[in-house]
Structure 1
């Protein structure tokens, strides 16, 4: 059984929390200066990358080097790709309607409310969701089949995210598709290929931590929380509520799987 460095891991948790907090505070300062809080979405991927890098440094001399390098690289690739994609998508746009609606209800200062309800909350979620990335770096012993299975699942997830995002961007870039519902490529198999990709990425990273039962036990909350966020929180449910009144969306939802990729249904099927 692979040993787990509990003491070093506990100390590393503090360093990772500081890294997540620093990313969010710097992002908040930039957002206040430019007057747009939507840039916090860019900080989401950067925060995970920062946590992975800080944990890699903090775990020196403890976990297996191959696993440490692997989990750090996978997290950074996912986080930085997501950050760049969101930055490009939001370039030239004003405030995100979600944040505008939230901040309109602020009882006092909009910026102070945003700091509490958006930045600090997202920083805490980055720390919590990244637990498999942190725990995996303190696992000794060479990577097992679980590590490579997790890596394969991560590859599937990143592929769904990247391909789905690229397909949607090309679709929206065509003026002929203005106002239309994207129902091609991966979007014909699932209404949320990017969210399904996130789901695979984080269950894959969790599998890498499963080389140690202790690391698995302490970090299983991460993919569970991410799955709930994607399906019941700020992901699928919130987006579909926003899309519900779009012409053609009800028909699209009736024939297309709500999350897991499945062949399109007949036009008379009930939405999932």
Structure 2
């Protein structure tokens, strides 16, 4: 052990955490194959982080600061369980997710093995990498300080933004009168992606829990950088907007609404001169 961080224990714990992430994904894969749909993996996404967090918490019992360990595990759990519950409610009664149906229709062989490689194993690896700040925070034997508290505030702001955005969108879609319309109310009038912006904020917040030492900060900064890329340039904002591009009214919504960071909406375009 050196300077408040046990690298050997962290390495062992990281391997166990990878096992926890893949165990959650493989269990979901078995359910998906049995039921003939793979949309359940979206529910498991948040739960895989929760499994990693509590694996790290348990194995770091004699290595890390108790307050930091508990805070890291608790914040991750609140986010992961809320997200899983939201996705489960949203998908109740639906068939396969169109994204996975399109992907699996291109499978060169077994659809199940293709899904295992392209969805479950990939998401298991991503969950492990993204959760590195949570894992490292559990092994930091440093009392909570200003950076950790600032991280908790960022996490709270991000989680609130994500939860409120999800709730507003769910209520909007539940009204039959809104079918085919663009959601441009509440938080969605300030940013086209309150859920993605919330995820961006909360992972930078969780990263700050691992910043009590420069070495752990350097090791784990890949997490918020990867999340930032995914929600803005990868599978998040970019793909969703490409899918929405042909919707009536979406171009006008894009014109007046911030693409990511919440900002007061611009005035609607007027017709005529």
Query: TM-score normalised by the shorter chain: which range applies?
Result: over 0.9
Matches for 1:95-114 after TM superposition, within 5 Å: 95-114=96-115
Give the superposition deviation at 1:2.
Answer: 5.3
Cα-to-partner distance string for 1:9-28 (whole Å, 9 max, x where unaligned): 11111000000010000000
Cα-to-partner distance string for 1:177-215 (whole Å, 9 max, x where unaligned): 111100000000000000000001100000111112121
Give the superposition deviation at 1:140.
Answer: 1.1
* 4+ residue segments displaced more than 3 Å: none
Counterpart position of 1:197: 198
Counterpart position of 2:85: 84
Cα distance in 2 between the residues matched to 1:35 and 1:226 = 30
SS in 2 for 1:233: coil
**C-alpha contact (below 8 Å) 1:2/1:139 kept by paired residues:** no
Cα distance in 1 between the residues matched to 2:26 and 2:141 = 34
The question of 1:40 aligning with 2:41 is answered: yes
Cα distance in 1 between the residues matched to 2:120 and 2:245 = 28
Give the superposition deviation at 1:266.
Answer: 3.1
Counterpart position of 1:183: 184
**C-alpha contact (below 8 Å) 1:256/1:265 kept by paired residues:** yes
Give the superposition deviation at 1:131.
Answer: 0.2
Counterpart position of 1:8: 9
Counterpart position of 2:60: 59
The question of 1:257 aligning with 2:258 is answered: yes
The question of 1:156 aligning with 2:157 is answered: yes
The question of 1:129 aligning with 2:110 is answered: no
**C-alpha contact (below 8 Å) 1:161/1:198 kept by paired residues:** yes
- In the alignment of these two chains, the number of paired residues is 269
Cα-to-partner distance string for 1:41-87 (whole Å, 9 max, x where unaligned): 00100000000000001111011000000010000000000000001
Cα distance in 2 between the residues matched to 1:172 and 1:125 = 30
| Gapped regions of structure 1 (runs ≥ 5) | none
Counterpart position of 2:216: 215
Counterpart position of 1:267: 268
Cα distance in 1 between the residues matched to 2:197 and 2:254 = 16
SS in 2 for 1:209: coil
Cα-to-partner distance string for 1:73-117 (whole Å, 9 max, x where unaligned): 000000000000001101111111111111111000001000000
Q: TM-score, normalised by structure 2?
A: 0.96
Q: TM-score, normalised by structure 1?
A: 0.97
Cα distance in 1 between the residues matched to 2:108 and 2:67 = 50
Counterpart position of 1:28: 29
SS in 2 for 1:95: coil
